[in-house]
């Protein structure tokens, strides 16, 4: 298995360009299934998850080609299958996002229960509940490894849907199913993440009629047909947050380009509480971790616009290096403290009880062999490795490469010493 070797690197300095958002591009690619015209998506990051989604779409009948460095052309004149490949789906949870488009366009979909990061149960019941309210009949195989949704003879019918939790995936999936439904659909207690807004903007370019994306109530007026469109993916706010923390933990100074500062407000606020100086422009941020003492703070993860769960583990790595004791409360995923044991191997003092972690600062971190237990935990290990004495060997790095484009190259630009050892 491939590994990263991370050396103690000193303060990171320089400029880094943020890629298109992983969590935005995957639903955008799925949405291209809704039209038989060509869709062009720009600022597509080169990631393992993007490659998997390309394979999934191709298996359904999409013709996909690369245009230049970071653009994809997706055209699906005819959907050849409404059943997804189990091997592909098992590798990525976001594969479930094709359910809504297939149900809308073909009236049926059969999908194995998906995989992805092991950070919690992340049940798909909210997705299925939404499809049911729109008129689909849901059935599961005897051993519960497949789920099937079939629209009635009249197709999908718009209705009022209340989500018990503002799930991003469920909001996206239901929104994509509803764009071709007859009548009007309301999604209440909808997720408000920027990725939801990005998807709605793309669908509206395709001819959908969606209002309210980015609020807790989304209105979708069904249309008969969608056409092709061109769209640029929003910058990745989690990648941006990771590099902000890299500057902070190494006490460096980093200029981060191609960001939406409004998407980063909770991360900016918490870093400022810790003593980090941040200057935000229209599309860039400068992070100064070299200007004074760093002190503890408390964090509680929440759905957007609250503090993002995806940045919790990298932020915890940083909190091991500040003065004082910090508390982190995780409210989104029940299994998102798996990185704690790995940070403990490196000398961090972290106590957990349920969804609460208490982090003692000023840890003397030491390099050792650790595991990337999931995507963001992997990023946390890298950040800790940058300031730990000696070398840190990180295994299971395929998790990291699912979500960060040109990871080593970007860190190297800032002076980090990270080497990849291939199998």
How does pLDDT run across 383-406, given as a tens digit for each residue? Answer: 999 999 999 999 999 999 989 999
Residue 199 corresponds to which tokens in the numbers above?
Answer: 């998807």
- The domain 22-232 is placed in CATH, from the list 3.65.10.10, 3.40.50.140, 3.40.50.970, 3.40.50.1400, at 3.65.10.10
Please answer whether residues 343 and 368 qualify as being in contact, where contact means their C-beta atoms are separated by less than 8 angstroms: no
> In this model, does residue 43 exceed pLDDT 90?
yes
Residue 8's closest CA among 389, 407, 411?
389
**Length of the chain, in residues:** 423
pLDDT at residue 381, as a whole number: 98
**pLDDT over 90 for what percent of the chain?**
88
Token digits of residue 327 = 């508390």
Task: Label the pairing between strands 160-162 and 184-188.
Answer: parallel
What is the rounded average pLDDT of the residues 171-183? 98
Secondary element (H or E) of residue 411: helix 407-413
Catalytic hit among 39, 117, 257, 368? 117
User: Is the confidence at residue 101, as pLDDT, over 70?
Assistant: yes
Can you identify the CATH homologous superfamily of domain 3-19+235-421? Enolpyruvate transferase domain (3.65.10.10)
Identify the CA nearest to 196 among candidates 27, 40, 331, 332.
27
pLDDT at 117: 44
Q: Which residues share a beta bridge with 185?
A: 220
368 in catalytic set: no
Decide if 159 contacts 185 (C-beta within 8 A): yes
What is the structure's pLDDT at 114?
61
Write out the residue limits of the CATH 3.65.10.10 domain(s) in the chain. Answer: 3-19+235-421, 22-232
For residue 116, what pLDDT is reported? 47
Q: Which of 113, 108, 249, 118 is nearest to 177 (CA)?
A: 108
Residue 161 pairs with which residues in a beta bridge? 187
**Banded model confidence at residue 119, pLDDT cuts 50, 70, 90:** very low
Q: What is the pLDDT of residue 146?
A: 87
pTM of the predicted protein model: 0.95
Provide, for the chain, the percentages of residues in helix, strand and coil under a 3-state DSSP scheme, each rounded to the nearest 5.
35, 30, 40
């Amino acid at each position: 298995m491939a590994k990263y070797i991370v050396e103690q690197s000193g303060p990171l300095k320089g400029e880094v360009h943020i890629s298109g958002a992983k969590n935005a591009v995957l639903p955008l690619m799925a949405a291209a299934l809704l039209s038989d015209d060509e869709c062009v998506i720009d600022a597509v990051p080169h990631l393992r998850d993007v490659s998997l989604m390309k394979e999934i779409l191709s298996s359904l009948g999409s013709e996909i080609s690369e245009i230049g460095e970071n653009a994809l052309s997706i055209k699906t004149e005819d959907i050849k299958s409404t059943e997804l490949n189990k091997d592909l789906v098992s590798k990525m949870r976001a594969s479930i996002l094709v359910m809504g488009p297939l149900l809308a366009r073909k009236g049926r979909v059969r999908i194995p229960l998906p995989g992805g990061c092991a950070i919690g149960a992340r049940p798909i019941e909210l997705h299925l509940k939404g499809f049911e309210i729109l008129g689909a009949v849901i059935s599961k195989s005897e051993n519960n490894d497949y789920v099937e949704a079939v629209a009635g003879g009249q197709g999908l019918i718009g209705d009022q849907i209340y989500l018990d939790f503002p799930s991003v995936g469920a909001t996206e999936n239901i929104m994509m199913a509803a764009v071709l439904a007859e009548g009007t659909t309301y999604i209440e207690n909808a997720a408000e993440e920027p990725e939801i807004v990005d998807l709605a903007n793309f669908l509206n370019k395709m001819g959908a009629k969606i209002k309210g994306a980015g609020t807790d109530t989304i209105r979708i007026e069904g249309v008969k047909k969608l056409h092709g469109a061109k769209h640029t993916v929003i910058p990745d706010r989690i990648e941006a947050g990771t590099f902000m923390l890299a500057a902070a933990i190494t006490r460096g100074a980093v200029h981060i380009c191609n960001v939406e500062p409004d998407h980063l407000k909770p991360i900016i606020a918490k870093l400022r509480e810790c003593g980090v100086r941040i200057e935000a422009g229209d599309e860039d941020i400068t992070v100064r971790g070299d200007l004074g003492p760093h002190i503890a703070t408390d964090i509680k993860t929440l759905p957007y616009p609250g503090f993002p769960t995806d940045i919790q583990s990298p932020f915890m790595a940083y909190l091991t290096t500040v003065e004082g004791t910090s508390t982190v409360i995780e409210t989104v995923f029940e299994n998102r403290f798996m990185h704690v044991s790995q940070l403990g191997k490196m000398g961090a003092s972290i106590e957990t009880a349920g969804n609460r972690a208490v982090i003692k600062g000023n840890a003397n971190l030491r390099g050792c062999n650790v595991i990337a237990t999931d995507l963001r935990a992997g990023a946390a290990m890298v950040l800790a490795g940058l300031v730990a004495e000696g070398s840190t060997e990180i295994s299971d790095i395929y998790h990291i490469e699912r979500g960060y484009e040109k990871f080593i190259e970007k860190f190297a630009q800032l002076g980090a010493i990270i080497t990849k050892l291939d199998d």
